Chain A
Amino acid sequence: DIQMTQSPSSLSASVGDRVTITCRASQNIGDFLNWYQQNPGKAPKLLIYAASSFQSGVPSRFSGSGSGTDFTLTISSLQPEDSATYYCQQSYSTPRTFGQGTKLEIK
């Protein structure tokens, strides 16, 4: 199985801050990497697919980058509604695997 490791596990930032979340794969997965946002009690929502492609309707302050084993989700200017847990997921092979999640709080 491909292991996905996110860092940090949690972070606290202020409105307007630039926030970066990192995801590392245990082997080369090319650009088969997706990012999701999950609010409490809700289903995850797709933000970024194929490492850097924007899902329709997602605010432009969200962006993704990386390839191979190292990937990044960036929020350019943090908004209050961005408080959530963020997950990376690889779709390179089965079993599909997710990172453990990064809980983002607003100061």
Chain B
Amino acid sequence: QVQLQESGPGLVKPSQTLSLTCTVSGGSINSDTYYWNWIRQRPGEGLEWIGYIYYSGSTFYNPSLKGRITISLDTSKNQFSLRLTSVSAADTAVYYCARENLVEVTAVSYLDYWGQGTLVTVSS
């Protein structure tokens, strides 16, 4: 059974960098069948897609986060990571990592496995 688990600091100071890691178990991150996503949810709000990384290292980011994001992959540890720079209170959210399954024949994709989420609070 595939499992994803987020880890990282729960409190980050304004203007600093938020860093989270997602550890994948029960399956290899080094596969051409999946995108590895970060998604966040501000308190009381909906879901916001942050970006994803492919096993090749290709990345796609949400332009709304204006160049503050880096997503990276560590295949030796079966992990992928998120860095978000210059954080403010608006970045306070539950951060989820999730696997996006790509159906080769039809090209459809969907988020089939999610981590439990980790709350990151930006505050001095």
Contacts and interface: CB of A to CB of B under 8 A. Distances in A.
A43 B47 contact: no
Query: Which of B61, B103, B114, B115 lies at the interface centre, i.e. has the most chain A CB atoms within 10 A of its CB?
Result: B114
Contacts of A97: 49
A70 interface: no
Nearest to A91: B109
Contact of B110 (A1, A50, A98): A50
A36 B111 contact: yes
Contacts of B98: 43
Interface residues of A, number: 24
Contacts of A95: 49, 51, 60-64
Interface in B37-52: 37, 46-49, 51-52
A55 B108 CA distance: 13
A39 B109 CA distance: 22
B116 interface: yes
Interface residues of B, number: 26
A contact face: mostly helix, strand, loop, or mixed: loop
Contacts of A94: 60
Interface in A45-104: 45-46, 49-50, 55, 87, 89, 91, 94-101
B91 interface: no
A95 to B, nearest CB: 4
B33 to A, nearest CB: 14
B112 A98 contact: no
29 contacts: A32-B108, A32-B109, A36-B47, A36-B111, A43-B114, A43-B115, A43-B117, A44-B96, A44-B114, A45-B114, A46-B110, A49-B108, A49-B110, A50-B103, A50-B108, A87-B47, A91-B110, A94-B60, A95-B49, A95-B51, A95-B60, A95-B61, A95-B62, A95-B64, A96-B37, A98-B48, A98-B49, A99-B46, A101-B46
Interface of B: 37, 46-49, 51-52, 60-64, 96, 98, 100, 103, 106, 108-112, 114-117
